[in-house]
Amino acid sequence: MNETLLASSSSSGDMPWWAYVLCLLVVGAGAYFAWRARQKKIAMYRAWAAQYGFHYEPSDNSVTGLSTEDPFNEGHSRKGIDVFRGMYKNVHIVFFQYQYSTGSGKERKTFNHQVVAIGLPTARPLLDIGQENFLTKRFAKDIDFENQAFNDFFRIKSPNRRFAYDIIHARTMEWMLQDQRARSYPWRFEGPWLMTFRSGALKLEEVFFYADFLIDILAQVPKHVWANH
């Protein structure tokens, strides 16, 4: 009697065959519509790139090596998505969506960043500029300058102190303290690139705003910097 009840209970808990088919259809439909949406986005990006004179690749993982610092040194499964390359106001430019994941299985999380970078006249050492916060003030080492108001607001990291002092001279410090973009966004010299980035997906309507910001930073750099180091 007990065995019969157990068998009946087990049988009633199983999903009928049509429920499995329905699940497969729902998953398949979701995948199809996601694929269609992606294809439409790629077509739109190709048209935009052609209009503005950029080269576009839907996927190009070579850009994941653009930097060795955060967020490029985070997680696994790193990808370059919707990568645009070309010229803007006489400088080389690349912008894209950078993606990486942490964890696996149910614990897996995926993160996206928008990256905009312009080419430098010559490759230079790492120089990372960000904003101070409670944790960095207490636990992170950075380079101090003669302007204490500057030190209180900005966090400057570089393995090459001479390069840092050449880039961030007195006039640049005053400009950084007054410019709202410099006070709001991180930026970084590394190798042949000057870059800025933020969390979230790529938004083409923002790209030229960030590119202009980087060009303004470049304009602050003394010419002798490109001949030394």
What distance in Å separates the CA atoms of residue 150 and residue 161, rounded to the nearest whole number? 16
Q: What does the pLDDT look like over 122-181, one tens digit per residue?
A: 999 999 999 987 666 655 678 999 999 999 999 999 999 999 999 999 999 999 999 999
CA 12 to chain CA centroid, Å, is 50
Instruction: Name the amino acid, one letter, at 106.
Output: K
Measured CA to CA in angstroms, residue 122 lies from 29, 119, 155 at distances of 50, 8, 24
pLDDT digits (tens, 9 = 90+) for 213-229: 999 999 999 999 998 65
Q: Give phi and psi for 127, each to the nearest 5.
A: -145, 110
Q: What is the pLDDT of residue 34?
A: 72
Q: Structure pTM?
A: 0.84
pLDDT band for position 25 (50/70/90)? low
Mean pLDDT value across residues 194-207:
97
Task: Label residue 32 by pLDDT band (50, 70, 90).
Answer: low
Q: Does 63 have pLDDT greater than 70? A: yes
